Chain A
Amino acid sequence: MTTTADRAEFVAGSRAPDKQAREGKRVATTAHIALILWSLLVILPLLWTLLSSFKTTQEILGNPLSLPGKVQFSNYASAWTTAGIGRYFANTVVVVGSALVLVMILGAMCAYVLARFSFRGNRLIYYSMLAGLTFPVFLAIVPLFFVLKNLALLNTLPGLIITYVAFALPFTVFFLHSFFKALPGEVYEAAQIDGAGEWRSFFSVMLPMARPGMASVAIFNFLGLWNQFLLPVALNTDSNNYVLSQGMASFASQAGYAVDFGALFAAVVITVAPVLVVYIIFQRQLQVSVAAGSVK
């Protein structure tokens, strides 16, 4: 339909721009409508969750679309304390925070050496990192359970942190590798001539230059680790050490019996809101990172 119309315009000549403008407007309107529909599909469940988090369980079960009779913050209080979301939140901050710092340091060091030093086995290490990125974690999960058990790290936060680091390492190395590879060699040489050793060259010269790459990878790692579910569920079964994702899952399965839906919705909001707010603030940076990733 559109194609024949276009061709006709092209032949018709003088009338073309006018008609084309009208057609363009129609396409733009259709595009807006389609995108608005999709946006609604994304937002409505989230808004409904937010709304429900202020309602009592009776109100939720009574009428799913009603507004809360009176804005209830008690759901948040009971989710935070009774359901233990507060504790899970703190655990998650500790685990994700430590793992993120460690994996960025270790990943940057490893990527730097692999990208800028030639030695026997360099390629082998690089490709085994790549393989570690493709293989499903499920293949490793049972032996991993016993590795941690033998090291007395099972059901401990340090155990979870080191596992997070290990499984985020391939991605980190893989992406930082190209950033370090692209850095100009002259700066490194200059630092060496000025008497800086390898350690200083890295920390005071090379690492600061890779900052944009570090920022992108850190964002992806943060989201990936914050969302991690399998590793904690399998390797961290002490409910005192639960992280948010597994705490949410266990709370939801309990809520099936205890039916405190108000608190469940509040727990969801507590889990989602901080990251969503941070995302909205840094969304430009994040979209740039995604774009940078797509070029590779």
Chain B
Amino acid sequence: MTVTQDGVPGGGPKRSVARRRRPLTFDRASFMVVFLGLPLAVFVIFVVSPFVQALYYSLTDWSGFSSGMNFVGFDNYVKLFHDDIFLKAVRNNIQLAIVVPFVTIVLALTLATLVTIGGSGTGTVRGLRNSGFYRIVSFFPYVIPAIVIGLIWAQVFTPGSGLLDAVLSKIGLHQFENYAWLGDARTAMPVSMFVMIWGFVGFYMVLFIAAIRGIDPEVFEAARIDGAGRFRTAVFLTVPLIRDNVQTAYIYLGIAALDAFVYMQALNPGGGPQNSTLVMPQQLFTTAFTKGQFGYSTAMGVVLATVTLLFAFLVFLVNALTGGRERKVKVRG
């Protein structure tokens, strides 16, 4: 403000009043129409309108390309709650949403902690030397398309010709020879979870490294002088200080785990042995684009969206509830 006032006689405030009163010139009008209108038109036509339409379609019996649609109220939802295959998919998604974010965050936090405060040194807390390499390598999976990650691991887990089979035989674990990791209902889900976690950890590791580096170093010094070991520093100091980052990560990972479509399509397109890796999006996709039951499939979409929002709400709630207690501990410490 002062700068413009110095440069322009007459002062800033008066001019800004004048600007507000300025008539709508062609320049200004065309600017607003194009700058706001164009992006909004695209957004409304291709994002907002499909979401709104979905809510309506889910209340109809619309199926097939030619037949009309009748309003059936909540019939689709009632049917969904008696659909054993869909309920199985819901349970699988919930399992994924519980395990994948948790394991990913614990692993990513551990690795980030090792990089940031694992350095050798007396007194001061230092980052690990030559850790750039680990950071670069860990980030690889993030730049590989998820479908390709799935395809690579599907090959790794292939019985007979897969990398895992060969390695296990080499180290003498012959009981796993020709074991179909993805073809057995007991292991298909854990293995799929592993692949997803492998794909996610690197990104969150880098995110957490940045967050930990953002903490004031004096906090670490103080903890060190008070005699806190590295492990205690990491768990009781670092985690509470970057809890907002952890919360954000939890929500993103939860949303990704409730989707899981790409990974599952790559690892077991048919839903896996006894539908053990079937997820809601896969069932939705088949119901819509193979069976043509559009009304029913959009109802699945509504359930998926509801579960997603519930999950986000739950994470916020848990963070808010535990947040108060942590803060008290911090004050006392």
Interface residues of A (CB under 8 A from B): 2-3, 5-7, 10, 17, 20-21, 24-25, 27-28, 30-32, 34-36, 38-39, 41-46, 48-49, 52, 60-61, 63-65, 106-107, 109-110, 112-114, 117, 125, 128-129, 132, 134-136, 138-145, 147, 162-163, 165-167, 169-170, 173, 186, 189-190, 192-193, 197-199, 202, 223, 226-227, 229-230, 233-234, 244-246, 248-249, 252-253, 261, 264-265, 268, 271-272, 275-276, 279-280, 283, 286-287, 290-291, 293-295
Contact = CB atoms under 8 A, between A and B. Distances in A.
Interface in B12-64: 12, 15-16, 19, 25, 27-28, 30-32, 34-36, 38-40, 42-43, 45-51, 53-54, 57
Contacts of A139: 51, 54, 298, 301-302, 304-305
B198 A42 contact: yes
Contact of A276 (B27, B39, B143, B262): B143
A186 B137 contact: no
Contacts of B48: 128, 132
Q: Which of A5, A24, A230 has the most CB of B within 10 A?
A: A24
B333 interface: no
30 contacts: A3-B227, A10-B227, A20-B123, A21-B122, A27-B120, A28-B120, A31-B115, A35-B111, A42-B141, A45-B163, A46-B152, A106-B42, A113-B35, A114-B36, A129-B43, A132-B47, A139-B54, A140-B50, A142-B54, A143-B49, A166-B42, A166-B43, A190-B7, A199-B30, A234-B285, A234-B289, A268-B151, A271-B148, A272-B144, A276-B140
B67 interface: no
Interface in B128-167: 128-129, 131, 133-148, 151-156, 160-163, 165-167
Contact of A106 (B8, B39, B202): B39
A242 B212 CA distance: 42
Contacts of B304: 136, 138-139
Nearest to B302: A139
Contact of A290 (B128, B201, B207, B309): B207
B86 interface: no
Given A112-B35, A249-B147, A276-B144, A24 B122 contact: yes
B300 to A, nearest CB: 8
A28 B128 contact: yes
Interface residues of B, number: 118
Given A49-B152, A283-B139, A140 B51 contact: yes
A136 B210 contact: no
Given A138-B259, A138-B304, A268 B148 contact: yes
Contacts of B155: 49, 52, 261, 264-265
B294 interface: yes
A134 B163 contact: no
A294 B210 contact: yes
A186 B7 CA distance: 11
A246 B143 CA distance: 17
Contact of A138 (B4, B53, B151, B281): B281
Contacts, number: 310
Contacts of B227: 3, 6-7, 10
Interface of B: 1, 3-4, 7-8, 12, 15-16, 19, 25, 27-28, 30-32, 34-36, 38-40, 42-43, 45-51, 53-54, 57, 110-111, 114-115, 118-123, 128-129, 131, 133-148, 151-156, 160-163, 165-167, 170, 198, 201-203, 206-207, 210-211, 213-214, 227-232, 245, 248, 255, 258-259, 261-262, 265-266, 269, 280-281, 284-285, 288-289, 294, 297-298, 301-302, 304-305, 308-309, 312
Nearest to A26: B120
A193 B152 contact: no
A158 to B, nearest CB: 12
A38 B201 CA distance: 10
Contacts of B139: 279, 283, 286-287
B294 A142 contact: yes
B35 A38 contact: no
A17 B122 contact: yes
A230 B262 CA distance: 8
B122 A134 contact: no
B269 A253 contact: yes
Contacts of A244: 145
Given A48-B163, A141-B288, A189-B12, 5 more contacts: A138-B304, A142-B50, A186-B1, A248-B145, A294-B245
Given A24-B120, A169-B42, A136 B258 contact: yes
Contacts of A253: 269
Contacts of B35: 109-110, 112-113, 202
